[in-house]
Amino acid sequence: MSGTSPVVVAKRVDGGDDADLTEIADLASAAGYDVVGRLSQSREEDAAYHFGEGKVEELAALVRETDAQAVVVDNRLGPYQTYNIGGKLPEGVEVIDRFTLILEIFGQRANTRKAQLQVELAELRYELPRAEAKASLAKRDERPGFMGLGEYDESRERDIKAQISRIKQELDAIAEKEETRREQRRESGFDLVALAGYTNAGKSTLMRQLADDLDVSENEDLHPDLDPTAESEDRLFTTLGTTTRRADTGTRDVLLTDTVGFISDLPHWLVESFESTLDSVYRADLVLLVVDASESVEEMREKLVTCHDTLYERNEAPIVTVLNKIDRVDDDELAEKRAALDALAPNPVAVSGLTGENVEELTARIEAELPDWREERLLLPLSDDAMSLVSWLYDHGNVEREEYTGEDVLVEFSARPAIVEKARSKAAEVRAPPGSAESGDVSEASVDSP
């Protein structure tokens, strides 16, 4: 179906107030659909129709009234429920549940090989239980086309499982290459900082405030078609590819990575399918968890809980909560929200990615939370190689003192432990060039640790 088609969005909740249709309408719009009608119901799930049968009749009337070409349901529907709802609707009107819609959006945004594989994996994991359901129903009723679910092919389950295995192997190979690249960047002196949070929390806008002009594609040798610029459109899932850019926080060289935002009520199988993309968050040195401060406390709390459940399961890096969009709230409201969320977001940094307010405070916090650097002193004989090493230290660490005494140069610097070890090795070569009898030996006068 064309993404420009008119659709009706619908949702059922177990009880309480009417269902909130804001997110599903936003998701439908993100997929390119035109939302022309909304319907909700508060009641226990009906096994046959998900909604009550009377509500489905009301839904059909709304479809006819609006000339909608599809119904987007903000719930997970079983094959039987999907078929029954479709039977009540005008002929040709499609029934799309929440996760089918999400997969459609992901498919539209998948511009890299890794993203395409992850979408395909998610689609197969979504289809597998439905293929199993067809098998079960067909065997039970001895009718391959029972309930309009399509012809049952017993080999389809095997094919899906084989495809899942193949895709996982290819994604594992990509993940290994990306992990090697991350370690190479660390060895080059870069700290890795990841932006995490819900869609439309303002991650990309904040990234533009923090980043230098230099763009670094996370998948530059694997996927040259990846757009390395951080977009800040008011759309969900602008891209599935990670965007990595160099950020200047003061003394540290930081690579900042933005990736797809979280959304609520994602099943485990869907999160698992995008594990390769989430590795950019899981394997960072620091995570900035971005939250929209203009939302209600209840919404912020719910999203923080979901993010923590996703991040703390595998992430070992420190997490700093960033309350973004403070340009939309006054000081009193912000103070109330900070107090209400203190248990989930202790000592957050409040900023505006749009105006740049408090961004300097955030960069200082980034430096404070990153893994400690080691301090070191090198005493080198004056030479071209020594000056090259000094220049290398400026590029890979923070040089705090450079002093020339006679025929030597003293350099005091701080850097990641791996950079310090590499600097010691380079100093040994400067003191005793490769091939000489003394190569590899560094005297106490040559390298002095404080």
**Binding-site residue set for GTP:** 197-204, 258-261, 324-327, 352-354
H or E, element range at 148: none
- Whole-angstrom distance, CA of residue 188 vs CA of residue 178: 15
Q: Which alpha helices (DSSP H) does 211-286 contain, by range?
A: 268-273, 275-282
Q: Which residues are annotated as a binding site?
A: 197-204, 239, 258-261, 324-327, 352-354
How open is the CA angle 61-67-68, to the nearest 5 degrees? 90
| Pairwise CA distance, residues 204 & 258, whole Å | 7
Contact present, 285 and 366 (Cβ < 8 Å) = no
Binding positions for Mg(2+) are 204, 239
Query: What is the DSSP secondary structure assignment for residue 221, as one 8-state letter?
Result: T
Per-state percent for the chain, helix, strand, coil, to nearest 5: 45, 20, 35
Give the sign of the dihedral formed by CA 363, CA 368, CA 374, CA 375: positive
Q: Which among 390, 422, 386, 432 is positioned nearest to 441, based on CA atoms?
A: 432
Burial label for 377, CB within 10 Å (0-12, 13-18, 19+), is: middle
Q: Give the three-state DSSP class for 196.
A: strand
H or E stretch covering 57: helix 53-66
Nearest to 100, CA basis, from 1, 234, 241: 1
CA distances from 71 to 81, 237, 348 (A): 13, 21, 40
E strands in 87-189:
94-97
CA gap 268, 279 in Å, rounded: 16
CA distance 415 to 376: 8
Give SS3 for 127.
Answer: helix
Indicate the pairing of strand 374-381 with strand 398-405. unpaired
Token readout for 179 is 């992990």
CA angle 308, 314, 319 (to 5 degrees): 50
Exposure b/e, 139-152, CB count within 10 A at least 16 = b: eeeeebebbebeeb
